[in-house]
Structure 1
Amino acid sequence: MRDRRFAVTGRMLLWTLVGAVLLATGLGGVTVWQNTYALHEERVVLRHDGQQLDGVLARPETGEGPWGLVVFVHGDGPVDATHDTFYRPLWESLARAGYASLSFSKPGVGRSEGDWLEQSMADRAEETLAALAWARARPDVDGRRIGLWGASQAGWVLPKVAARDKGLQFVIAVSPAVHWLRQGRYHLLAGLRRDGATAEETAAALRRRETTLSLLRNGASFEEYRAAVGDPGDMTAARWAFITTNHRSDATPDLPALRGTRVLLVLAGHDINVDVAETESVYRRILPASRLEVAHYPRATHSLVDHEVEGSQWRLTLTAVLAPRKLYAAGFLADQARFVQRLNGGGDAE
């Protein structure tokens, strides 16, 4: 399953060019102000599995701690520690609730060593466990108030981590995937409907999918895949290897590990990547109602961006430059802060 739409902020080159234009027309001060956050960011390094991972610890701007901590687990793709700055409004909101945020660039991204395309979901869980152990060794982190925040593909990682780390205070699962193959089919059909595909085009896409699944079941090489499907599109040998490793992923057997943890499940109304109805059904069936909170954002896309904003290139660009906090669907940032603050018996965050 691919969740590229969660990386809507990856268009940084375009934003930079627009920012330059705004600077030239006298709006530079507004741009700088809107992209300045009430955070103290520290570059940090984690050694894991013989490789160096580069990251950011974003602490509240005032106070001395020790802080609660949210460890971020990325979705699909070559995501850096800040998710091309997309995480910063969220970090700021969590900081107002008294929590720091910790995020590492994926292996092979930025200054992190390795290659994320060589990882299994179990590998990603081990990496997250290493980040948790690193954080608990810091005097400015309150080890009793540590949780995970993960999006999309992280749905296969979060419960694996919870099964090994019983000290987690909470898990925030944003647009999480459950079953790789079912989600892939859902994503394919939803995309075809969005694009107005004909019945013939839909049938052809499903036939190609069945060919791909047969090749995966048989452990075919990338060369065999390319020979069978013809034009591979944007599929590469490395991506094919990643899919071969992970296509059997299913969160269902691991989700019972979250039964003792407070879970916030975040679902979007315009999600074409994840079947949110299935995700909610599975989470509600497995997790006790007393430990599960479900938050719906009817106007949001998979990335939790307002669907009208994400659907317009000029609105997306201008919002990202002039008002990045408004990229997210209405209420999302405040709700994240309120969730972690309520865990500690606090009032609502601003």
Structure 2
Amino acid sequence: MAALCAALAGAFLLLAAPRAYAAGDGLVRQEVTFRGGGGLLLHGTVLSKPGAPGPRPGIVLVGGSGPGPREEYRQEAEAFARAGITTLVHDKRTVGYSRLHRDFGLLADDAVAGARLLQSRSGVNPRQVGLWGFSEGGWVAPLAASRSTDIAFVVTIGGSGYDPLRTQTWNLATHLRHQGVGESFRRTVAGPAARFVASTGQFPAAGYDPLPVLEGLHRTPVLALWGDHDAQVPPRESAQIFRTALARAGNRHAVIGFVADGAHNGHRTSDGFDRIGGPLFHGKKLGELAPRYAQTMTSWVRAVAAGRPPASSAATGPGQALATTPVPGGHAWYVWLAPALLLLGFAAYPVSALLRRGPVLRPVRWLAGLGLSAVVATVACSVAVFVAGDGAVAPVVWGRPALWLVVQGLAVAVVVSACVSAAALRRRRLASNWRVWLRVVPAGLAAVAFVPWAVWWGVAA
């Protein structure tokens, strides 16, 4: 009986232990769980190369924005592991992270927890475990390194030197340009629409400033890379910010470089908007790793682990078709107050009609309806790009989204109906009727204010 109990206990322990297996590529994969920020249980895979000399360096992969399942970064994980670098890739947290809420501090805690997991593993040098951060991870990985002495080095690919809102504004403008959208609508997205989004306070981590974090990395070796065809963060400007900030910090081991023929994720591309080869992820090509991309990262990590971190250097950046546009921070009251007042002014006429006070003038009724429609459509059409991405502009006609042409048509109709309403009032000699004045003045004032507001929003361009 005792023997049977012992056998059952052994079987239970075997089933409960992390599962390790070797794939056809010769790498050993072990499923692991660990506690991230706030004690959240995270699931991941540790990849290693059997027979690699130890103690080996380790690296934790920190993914970009979105759900971030580990499969998205399988190519990078395998490349590091084949180079003898024990690698942890894990599924991103779903608690404390959503489309409207980002807590980079929690993500940084997750990265540090992953690093500690690797440090505890046999064959890994606990003093040579670092982080790799892609895109959003380019904000998170340096933040984690600035908070913990457990991080020996940082590698980033496609990290932005700006805050998330300014970065996303540039990203959208770049993709709109690629789709044939003209400069006038791009100015609307980068200007009034971006300010409106900022004023709502709903853009996640909109004002996060990576500069103080970079300036705090005094001794941590950093390899910062960008694809030379990056279309999601401004590569040339970001590289300059990283270089300047790390130099100001006194970091003597900061290498700034670019991946030839590389997209935002460092994978092969022809122009930054497509991906060449590689596995499919959610039905889309990820692209295969660009030539020398993996070799650049792995050789740098091995040099750092060997105690020979390369001295600071900076490659010449690629051309950048569009410059970024600063987005004023804070809740700018005028951005949302102006359309609110316009809506109130145009709505006053139909509301008074419901109360049956005074005569109803058909031209003013049209003015009110068109004005309400034009204000809502102006804001919704341009802000929709931030919600749905550049797909919200299709189809593009004459360098403008088709919906934006409708908005411009509504704006013209507002001006025409205001002129017709004024003529009708004069023709019917109702200007002396105080009830008419009481009902018409709000709509008239809204029509007058609508013109400069529409010009500022770029509707008239």
The TM-score with structure 2 as length reference comes to: 0.55
| Change in 2 beyond 3 A, CA 1:342/1:63 | closer
Task: Please name the residue that 1:210 is paired with.
Answer: 195
Deviation at 1:88, TM superposition (A): 3.0
Query: Structure 1 residues 57-66 or 167-176, which shifts more?
Result: 57-66
Counterpart amino acid of 1:214? S
Deviation at 1:141, TM superposition (A): 2.2
Question: Hey, what's the Cα distance between the residues in 2 that align with 1:121 and 1:312?
Answer: 29
SS state at 1:306 partner: coil
SS state at 1:186 partner: helix
Question: Hey, what's the Cα distance between the residues in 2 that align with 1:128 and 1:104?
Answer: 10
Cα distance per residue 1:11-47 (max 9 Å; x no partner): xxxxxxxxxxxxxxxxxxxxxxxx9433111000012
SS state at 1:282 partner: helix
Task: Please name the residue that 1:103 is paired with.
Answer: 89
Question: Hey, what's the Cα distance between the residues in 1 that align with 2:137 and 2:154?
Answer: 11
Q: Map 1:119-268 to 2 at 5 A.
A: 119-179=102-162, 180-206=164-190, 207-216=192-201, 240=202, 243-244=203-204, 246-268=205-227
Task: Please name the residue that 1:331 is paired with.
Answer: 292
Question: Hey, what's the Cα distance between the residues in 2 that align with 1:140 and 1:204?
Answer: 55
Task: Please name the residue that 2:16 is paired with.
Answer: none
SS state at 2:151 partner: coil
Question: Hey, what's the Cα distance between the residues in 2 that align with 1:143 and 1:312?
Answer: 39
**Aligned alpha-carbon RMSD (Å):** 2.7
1:293 partnered with 2:255:
yes
SS state at 2:265 partner: coil
Question: Hey, what's the Cα distance between the residues in 2 that align with 1:310 and 1:270?
Answer: 5
Cα distance per residue 1:188-241 (max 9 Å; x no partner): 22111111102343244343223212222xxxxxxxxxxxxxxxxxxxxxxx5x
Deviation at 1:96, TM superposition (A): 3.5
Question: Hey, what's the Cα distance between the residues in 1 that align with 2:274 and 2:24?
Answer: 25
Task: Please name the residue that 1:307 is paired with.
Answer: 269
Which structure is richer in relative contact order (CA contacts within 8 A, separation 6 or more)?
1
Question: Hey, what's the Cα distance between the residues in 2 that align with 1:104 and 1:71?
Answer: 8
Number of residue-to-residue matches in the alignment: 274
Give the percent of matched residue pairs that are identical in Structure 1 and Structure 2. 23
Question: Hey, what's the Cα distance between the residues in 2 that align with 1:77 and 1:309?
Answer: 23
Question: Hey, what's the Cα distance between the residues in 1 that align with 2:24 and 2:304?
Answer: 28
1:162–1:257 Cα contact (<8 Å) kept: no
| Change in 2 beyond 3 A, CA 1:200/1:294 | closer
| Change in 2 beyond 3 A, CA 1:134/1:107 | same
Deviation at 1:64, TM superposition (A): 7.3
2:262–2:268 Cα contact (<8 Å) kept: yes
The TM-score with structure 1 as length reference comes to: 0.71
Question: Hey, what's the Cα distance between the residues in 1 that align with 2:68 and 2:222?
Answer: 24
| Change in 2 beyond 3 A, CA 1:311/1:187 | closer
Question: Hey, what's the Cα distance between the residues in 2 that align with 1:215 and 1:344?
Answer: 46
Query: Structure 1 residues 126-135 or 331-340, which shifts more?
Result: 126-135
**Runs of at least 5 residues in structure 1 that lack an aligned partner in the other structure:** 1-34, 109-113, 217-239
Larger radius of gyration: 2
| Change in 2 beyond 3 A, CA 1:138/1:344 | closer
Give every structure 1 segment of 4 or more consecutive aligned residues whose post-TM-superposition deviation is greater than 4 Å. 309-313
Question: Hey, what's the Cα distance between the residues in 2 that align with 1:163 and 1:280?
Answer: 19
1:93–1:336 Cα contact (<8 Å) kept: no
